[in-house]
Amino acid sequence: MTQNAGVSATDQATVERRRDEPDPVAAEFVLRLGRAMQVYGMSARRLEDLLGAAADRLRLTGHQFFSTPTSIMASFGPVGRQRTHMLRTEPGEVNLGKLAELEQVGIDVAEGRCTPAEGSAAVDRITAAPSPYGKALTTVAYGLLSGAACQFLGGGERESLAGAALGLGLGVFALLIGAVPRIGGVFEPLAAFLVSAAAIGLAHLLGPMSVLTATVAGLIVLLPGLTLTTAMTELATRHLASGVARLSGAFSTFLTLAFGVALGNSVGAAIFGAAPAAPAVVGPMWARITALIVAPLCFTVILRAEPRDAPWIVLAGALGVMGGRLGAATFGVELGTFAGSLVVALAGSVYERLRRRQASVVVVPGILLLVPGSVGFRSLTSLLDRQAVTGIETAFSMILTAIALVAGMLVAGVILPERRIGTGA
């Protein structure tokens, strides 16, 4: 009797343990979805929320997720008998179109419109799909964005022309570097070196201008303003590990860019002579309005959003910039940034409800028109020029601007909460 009872208890424990084991197909789908979303730029907060909601609907009990910019850890099952997975990832370029498609796949699986196996196949298909924009168009977008960015940085006609040429050159250089993977690790400082040296040469060719404004515009695509804003958002929402990692990465990028610019300025001055400097003259109103349309369209191409989302991206960007300008004129620069961020985030929430697509499709390009990347870059260049007071003041302004951006997005999330996966709300 005792032996039979012992065998029965063992068998029952085995059955219970097997019952607690997660469905391998469902777990594989969640892991594939998480890896793909992280590679294409999903923040830790949104990523963990999405994976948690999908796991709930797929009845993966006891799930826990932890993500950093370079890894995802996922556990399934009750405490003490969990199965833990660790995925090592490499951060890739932000791809808004694929992020929106991947989230829709997650919603379809969570709401039962397709099976986890079909969802995994869809994830593979989306990640393997080519960009909707060719290399030539993307390179042209680099140049047009840099020219338009000069209008937001206070530049005039010469700065815009020089910035467009520098941005176009950066796009061509990025294509050439793509064919030589071993140089990818030094792409940022090398690009900053070439752009800053070329800016001095263009100042001799085009006439006196603000070389710094043209240089910043030429490097606008490389400035980690979005990374900085995402890091501050993650820190504010208590995703400390990911936030600190992103903040460190943004600071490292700033340093490498500043070093490349300092070296390029020295070499450029030695080759071409001292640049004929002149203060930037703000362009006419029509130029600023044109830039307000061109810049979001260029971000649509560079961030690989779908063409059908371009009108929404332009609208959100224009509303954000106008809200920021109105707020700055009324309450000051920092509160103006808060107003612009609030307007962009609210526009993203409206877009999400109307189109049933991820709000970041329009929020990310809109925020990029407000991010403090150029401010942080100017701070480092001032410090390198031994202008300590100016550099510290500019760095403090960058921090306040980043905090204002985050506050605007968090307040918008309270007013119009984002749609959660699998809830239909």
Query: Smallest Cα–Cα separation from 156: which of 278, 279, 281, 276?
Result: 281
Query: Smallest Cα–Cα separation from 207: which of 164, 166, 162?
Result: 162
Query: Average pLDDT of 317-343?
Result: 82
* 69, 253 Cβ separation under 8 angstroms: no
Query: Smallest Cα–Cα separation from 277: which of 206, 373, 327?
Result: 206
Q: What DSSP string describes 134-176? A: -HHHHHHHHHHHHHHHHHHTT--HHHHHHHHHHHHHHHHHHHH
Position 80 scores a pLDDT of 74
Query: Smallest Cα–Cα separation from 29: which of 129, 113, 102?
Result: 102
Mean pLDDT value across the chain: 82
pLDDT of 16 higher than 50: no
Query: CB burial class (10 A; 0-12, 13-18, 19+) of residue 57?
Result: middle
Work out the number of other CB atoms within 10 angstroms of the CB of residue 306: 16
How far, in whole angstroms, is CA 157 from its chain's centroid? Answer: 29
DSSP structural state of residue 277: B
Position 144 scores a pLDDT of 94
- pLDDT by residue (tens digit) across 141-173? 999 999 998 888 878 888 899 999 999 999 999
pLDDT of 15 higher than 50: no
Q: How many residues does this entry show for the chain?
A: 425
Query: Average pLDDT of 31-35?
Result: 92
* 76, 22 Cβ separation under 8 angstroms: yes
Query: Average pLDDT of 274-281?
Result: 76
Domain boundaries, the chain: 2-128
